Chains A and B, each alone.
Chain A
């Protein structure tokens, strides 16, 4: 694919470095962090890397309007290509947008059933067949395990990898025996990958808490630039 050849960026390499191959179809991954640390940015980054390879992505945002997500994509794309002055960013943006679909559920109206219905509509009516789902903004404090199980079933049924975000809290230090903090401490078995974003002074460290069946695997450290939200190898 034309985009892939020219734009497989360093970020993608780094994701591969820490996770090996990307999340397998039918598996769920979760990115954990406190409010404002960069969960949305990081999820958008994962999506963008795949979009640049020509993979169709369904970006589901909960209680957030699509326009805000679009801005994230635009900014990340701009930052990703800032070092390449000749790059046709507008053209790349246009091509990635054609592979991307943003689905928003406002006013706490999200349910796995609605997601199923929307995906069906998209496949049947719009001929859009995503190969990756991003689910941002799910309120893990309120969501029952049964909802997460339904989402897991959804991912398996459609053979889609699905990345989510979960908000941790400064005042809740609950962590299970496998080292997974609240709010994923009772549902870590459902996830194929669990990453934790930890804010440092200048950057954000991405810690891999679980990948595949392995907890706390030893992988190279990767950081998120807190200004550009791009991945980097130095802290």
Chain B
């Protein structure tokens, strides 16, 4: 590859499920000559698209795991991360976005901007990723790219500007009219390799002129030179490209291209646009935290001769061992170099340096700042930062949501038990939103994640990739307990049973705390509790947080303040004060108005308008709070907040009540108090379960 950073693009392809991003990636790899034949997702030839390399993905026709791949288009090197489309896997999307400089937002010309595109786009805004939009599937019945552009403007608030208009739609879709060159472009040959430019057909000329005017009007805001040239009637293609690039990089413009990846239309022009408008690593400012200066932020420079800083953003298990995908932000990396994991301090030697092409790999000698490559045999977790040891920097931590759902799993036999453990170790390293632990009381392995489908996929992967057959229990919602008002405590722990006794008195109050899960405040004055026993009180309180007395769920959002107490010169000890604190906690908690909290999800349903009432009904039955609905003439988008506990099996209900025409996305919104009636039921159920477990 070229070491000229201006000729490097790290891009993601991000979109709604089924909008054809895998097919698009496949075509990109074909036109950039990384692959020599075209296969389709769910292809009849049984080969499957190159990027969907996991078996499960092939079967479902969706992309679950991102795979990085590298290709060259003309003079430019492009690293592509194929990002997953389902919202249950957004951590993967988010991680991919963290390391990307730009992205292509793929939209379906029929479905347009759907709820998933909104979620993905919000994430891109969060990570300030400049993007191009590609309106795919222009060959489909009902294709209306102009409607999609309007939706981009109105639903996603993009300053979306068409750079092309379609040359025919639906079955007549042949190519595009390029509004920059003002030429018709068609894609001939079996695989659309041959690009033919011709004059714009007369029936499209007026529309093309009108849309070019609109385009010039919109992009001229980003270039004074272009504005001048427009006034003087001397607009050049170079000026147009410059203005579009400036607008795109400033995140104030989204250039829109069209085509049909499946029918091999428009992909090469999209690649030209990636090269022309999306940023190179030099255009992006990346920050790290200096661990030697209390995590003070600093800007990394994409210079080869500066100390190495790179982020491990993805781990995968391959036939040859663990593969770690890294993005270099500063410095360079060569085979044989020693790198240091900033989290663990562990040093490792880079044995093999790989450039990935889906599941094929190419050994390379050196990677430079800005590049995305993979390493073998490095022990780390996703999100770890590596340096060459000269500096102690960490890349800013990526936003990791807390799991909201858990499931008990049990291996079916001894062999499955071994394999399950291997699989779980791997998955938790790969995906920070996936957690696992052993429930000491029930002796069950529990897995936790972001939704039903999220956990389903891992259970299936255990079966397929690790031959670990497991039985699953009912999914459990991660309830919490908290307090609603202030309550005092004054507890004395006293034991005198021969030998040295135990004595400790702890007084103070418990109150709700909104800034975090737990806080401990020491207001002891005059040594009522000796300093050495203050941490014991904290420890005692923390021990109580693990299990609330209401229904046995973990306690959050509570602050404990100690302001008085008493000690005995002989009988007081660390243990005595821990016990006193536990007693104090138990004394105050029931008086502090304890309640149960439950995770509430933001559920967005998109449905044909005729089912609006029905869908509202399904959400309302689930204790949902409906926040808003938007109608765009065809579809209604209903936004609501629904307790997770009520969402099990919702996809089936939604499908059957809307003839399969509606779909929904779900993400964690907040923890809310459970209504009283429901709370009593939960407590009752929990107590019954605990009884059963004891038996």
- Residues B154 and A101 in contact, CB atoms below 8 Å apart: no
- Residues B616 and A121 in contact, CB atoms below 8 Å apart: yes
Known A-B contacts A109-B632, A118-B629; the reply to A124 vs B613 at CB < 8 A is: yes
- Residues A104 and B630 in contact, CB atoms below 8 Å apart: yes
Known A-B contacts A126-B619, A127-B620; the reply to A104 vs B629 at CB < 8 A is: yes
Q: Which residues of A contact B616 (CB under 8 A)?
A: 121-122, 125-126
Known A-B contacts A125-B616, A125-B620, A127-B620; the reply to A107 vs B627 at CB < 8 A is: no
* Number of residues from B at the complex interface, CB < 8 A: 22
Q: Which residues of B contact A219 (CB under 8 A)?
A: none
Q: Decide yes or no whether A221 CB sits under 8 A from chain B.
A: no
Which of A98, A106, A126, A127 is close to B631, meaning CB atoms less than 8 Å apart? A106
Q: Decide yes or no whether B150 CB sits under 8 A from chain A.
A: yes
Which of A65, A70, A109, A121 is close to B155, meaning CB atoms less than 8 Å apart? A65
Q: Which residues of A contact B155 (CB under 8 A)?
A: 65, 106
State the majority secondary structure of interface residues on B: mixed
- Residues B617 and A66 in contact, CB atoms below 8 Å apart: no
By size class, the interface of chain A is: 20 to 34
Q: Decide yes or no whether B598 CB sits under 8 A from chain A.
A: no
- Tell me the bound Cα distance from A114 to B613 in angstroms: 12
- Tell me the bound Cα distance from A105 to B609 in angstroms: 11
Q: Which residues of A contact B627 (CB under 8 A)?
A: 66, 97, 101-102
Q: Decide yes or no whether B639 CB sits under 8 A from chain A.
A: yes
- CB proximity of B111 to chain A, nearest CB, Å: 16
- Tell me the bound Cα distance from A61 to B413 in angstroms: 59
- CB proximity of B209 to chain A, nearest CB, Å: 25
Residues 345-382 (chain B) with a chain A CB within 8 angstroms: none
Q: Return 27 A-B CB contacts under 8 Å, by A number.
A: A65-B154, A65-B157, A66-B627, A66-B628, A69-B628, A70-B628, A90-B514, A97-B625, A102-B627, A102-B628, A103-B629, A104-B629, A106-B154, A106-B155, A106-B630, A106-B633, A107-B154, A107-B633, A121-B616, A122-B616, A122-B626, A124-B617, A125-B617, A125-B620, A126-B619, A126-B620, A126-B626
Q: Which residues of A contact B613 (CB under 8 A)?
A: 120-121, 124-125
Residue of B nearest to A127 (CB): B620
Residue of B nearest to A66 (CB): B628
- Indicate the member of A65, A90, A101 with the most B CB atoms within 10 Å: A65
Which of B514, B617, B620, B631 is close to A109, meaning CB atoms less than 8 Å apart? B631
Residues 579-633 (chain B) with a chain A CB within 8 angstroms: 612-614, 616-617, 619-620, 625-633
A residues contacting B by CB (< 8 A) are: 63, 65-66, 69-70, 90, 97-98, 101-107, 109, 114, 118, 120-122, 124-128
Residue of A nearest to B639 (CB): A66
Residue of B nearest to A97 (CB): B627
- Indicate the member of B514, B631, B632 with the most A CB atoms within 10 Å: B631
- CB proximity of A181 to chain B, nearest CB, Å: 30
- Residues A105 and B631 in contact, CB atoms below 8 Å apart: yes
- Tell me the bound Cα distance from A125 to B624 in angstroms: 11
- Tell me the bound Cα distance from A114 to B632 in angstroms: 12
- Tell me the bound Cα distance from A66 to B639 in angstroms: 9
Known contacts A106-B155, A118-B631, A121-B616, then 15 further A-B pairs from the complex at CB < 8 Å, ordered by chain A residue? A63-B154, A65-B155, A66-B627, A66-B628, A70-B628, A101-B628, A103-B628, A103-B629, A106-B633, A107-B633, A109-B632, A114-B631, A121-B612, A124-B613, A124-B617
- Tell me the bound Cα distance from A197 to B479 in angstroms: 49
Residue of A nearest to B156 (CB): A65
Q: Which residues of A contact B626 (CB under 8 A)?
A: 101, 122, 126, 128
- Residues B620 and A107 in contact, CB atoms below 8 Å apart: no
- Tell me the bound Cα distance from A69 to B632 in angstroms: 17
- Indicate the member of B150, B614, B632 with the most A CB atoms within 10 Å: B632
Residue of A nearest to B618 (CB): A125
Q: Which residues of A contact B620 (CB under 8 A)?
A: 125-127
- Tell me the bound Cα distance from A125 to B614 in angstroms: 7
Q: Which residues of B contact A105 (CB under 8 A)?
A: 630-631
Q: Which residues of B contact A70 (CB under 8 A)?
A: 628
- Tell me the bound Cα distance from A103 to B627 in angstroms: 9
- Tell me the bound Cα distance from A90 to B619 in angstroms: 24
Q: Which residues of B contact A121 (CB under 8 A)?
A: 612-613, 616
